[in-house]
Structures are given as C-alpha cells and as structure tokens.
Structure 1
Amino acid sequence: MIIGYARVSTDDQDLTSQVERLRAAGCEKIFSEKLSGKNANRAQLLKMLGGLSAGDVVLATVTDRIARDPLDMLNILNTVKAAGAGLRLLDEPFLDTSNDLSDIVIFIVGWAAKWHRRRILENTARGRARAQANGTKFGRKSKLTPHQQREALDRLAKGFETQREIALSYNVSHPTIGRLRSKRDRPEL
C-alpha cells in the first residue's frame, strides 16, 4: 500500500497542494496534520508509523514535511524500515530507502532542514528585535484609546463606580479595566 503523509506547520497554512500531489502519486491513504515539524511526537505521524506493514511505501513531498531534525528523521526511517516498509519523497527522488546510501542522504537532508529551521528562527528573532527597536508594539491592540484609559483610571480613583460599571460604559470586559489598574500600580511597565 502507498501511504501519504502531508504536514504544514500552522492552522493558517493549507494542505491541499500536498494532498493532491500525494493522491496523484497513487496514495491509497493519506495522513495529514497541521503541527510544527520540530517535534516528532505528532499524532498522525505516529498513527501512520504504527500501522505500517511489510511492503508499504510512505510517500511525502519533501523531507521537512516528515521531520526537521536529522535525528528524528533517522528514527522515523528506522521505524519505517523495521516495519519492512519504504520511504520515498516526490521532490527528492534521490531519497529512496531501497538504496544502502539512503541513511546518509536522509541524515544530510535532515540536517539541512534543521539548519534551515534555525535560520528561520534567527531571522524572525532579528526582525522582531529590529521592529521593537523601531517602536513596533506586539500583541493585541488595546480596546481603549490612551485618553479612555486615563479617563477610566481617573474614574476608578474617585471610587464612585465599580470596575464592572466602568467597563460596561466602555463596552469592554471588567478584566480589561483591572489590567489598567495593575499596569498603573506597576510603573516599571
């Protein structure tokens, strides 16, 4: 049986292209998930690996869909081989477990995927630091304008209204007003 495996890293990404390509390549069953490849403990991957039989072929589009870490890739490959199954990749035809050199190739390709992931994380961190240095604020925008925040704090300080009443007047939750109070009480923030 030809068994496909498709993966994207986030819920916002689409699996359609991978699934269509795997079906076109003859996959009778396709396991798919939307989880980061940095962790090999993915439910659908483990389910697929646990159900392999001798003669099965696992098919994916590229190495990093299976694993981003070379050690994870080798462990997955060992599981596939132990079941008497094989592994092939559509976009990396040099990777075919019927060849004795496949372990070396898989390790190198897995290492490259890990290196690429590390570069992505480093670039993201640099971009975030640069944006923060330029004054970009991350996170959800405040529901209240700075004027409304000062006004709400003034109303709280006067003590005539409850936090809940003030929140209702601005159409926000009372924890929103509570966070303003906490922020005011911690001037370092």
Structure 2
Amino acid sequence: MMKIGYVRVSSVDQNPGRQFQQLNEIGMDIIFEEKLSGATQDRPELQKMLESLQQGDIIFVTDLTRITRSTRDLFELVDHIKRKNANLKSLKDTWLDLSEENPYSQFLMTVMGGVNQLERDLIRMRQREGIDLAKKEGKYRGRVKKYHDKHAGINYAIKLYREGKMTVKQICEITNVSRSALYRKLSEVNN
C-alpha cells in the first residue's frame, strides 16, 4: 500500500507549495505534480499515476478541484480507482470515502460533485460579469495581440515575404513567427 499525492496548479506561474506542504505533513510515498489547467483533457501525470495504481493504494489531494474537472470526470475517476481496489482521499473534502463500509459515499459524491461543479460555474459567471462591466467602463480591451503592428518579428517576416527570395518555411524559422500568423497578418495588410 502506497500513499500517493497528486498536486496540480493551473499554470506555471502558480505556486504548488501549499499543496506539497499539506500532503507532506501526512507523509506521502510519492507525489505526482502537474502545472496545467484542469480543463484540459491531456493530464500526463494524472494518467501516469492512475496507470501505476495498485490494490490498497490511497491517492491524496488537497481538494477535489485539483484532480477533477467536472462531476462526470469525478465519477469516471472514482470508477477507475475503485476498479483497481484503491482509494481516494481529499484533505478538504473529508466526506469522501470510497470504502464499501460507507453506504452514503455514492450519494455524497453526487451531491458534492454537483456542489464543486456549481462553484466552478459561479466563478466563470462572475468572471464573465466582471469582464462585461470592465468593457462597458472601457477598462477591458481583451487579450493583447501577440503580433501587433509594431512587433519586430512579424514586420520582418512580411518584409522577407514581399522580397520573394525565401520560402514561407524559411521565413518562419528565421523570424520565429508561425505560418498561420504570417498568413493572417498578410491578409490583414493586403485588405
């Protein structure tokens, strides 16, 4: 039986230190770490952890939002863990108990999974409302374009393209501008 930790932050800028500290306080044999959005389907460390899972192992997370994206994702994850005769424990969500001894575990998982999904949806809604308000007040302009009019790389790429002495592939390699960005900018300039 191993105590396995799973740590995830949404971006490389975020610090997973708090999660590591909480998991190490209860003593982990191994910790898998990911720095990417939970919304993405491709979570290689999670997959690696699930593949290495053995009977009797316990996966620990600081809270369920670190390991699941949605209620459906939670159920699929729990089914996989149960098939391996392993367990999942959350430090924050202490109600979670996958053992057969708890007749309420499936009911509680359904309710709490729904609560977690509601929480994510409310955050998304508040974020959207904040952006809409900022737009009305003229404070929000959206994401800054990577290849703006004064971007040296894109301007040099356009210059090289117009000279006609190089292939698009060569231009993109030299200027470090993607092919699609170059074509998009060329169509903007020519219109």
Q: Give the TM-score band, short-chain normalised.
A: 0.7 to 0.9
TM-score, length-scaled by structure 1:
0.73
8 Å contact from structure 1 (residues 71, 107) kept in 2: no
| CA positional deviation for 1:141 | 8.1
Query: May I ask how many residue pairs the two structures share in their alignment?
Result: 160
Give the corresponding residue for 2:130: 127
Q: Which runs of 5+ in 2 are unaligned?
A: 159-184
Contact kept, 8 Å, 2:11 with 2:35, in 1: the verdict is yes
Q: Which residue of 2 aligns with 1:113?
A: 116
Aligned residue number for residue 3 of structure 1: 4
Give the deviation of 1:174 after TM superposition.
6.1
After superposition, the Cα gap between the structure-2 partners of 1:40 and 1:103, relative to the gap in structure 1 and judged at 3 Å, is: farther
Q: Secondary structure at the match of 1:46?
A: helix
Aligned residue type for 1:49: L
Counterparts of 2:54 and 2:154 in 1: how far apart (Å)? 55
Q: Distance in 2 between matches of 1:52 and 1:66?
A: 15
Letter matched to residue 92 of structure 2: D
RMSD: 2.7
Distance 1:142 1:54 in 2: 49
Deviations, residues 3-61 of structure 1 (Å, cap 9, x unaligned): 01111112221111101211111210011112222345411111111111111011111
**Residue 32 (str. 1) matches residue 11 (str. 2):** no
Identify the residue that residue 152 of structure 2 maps to in structure 1.
173
Residue in 2 that maps onto 1:62: 63
How much identity, in percent, do the aligned residues show? 30
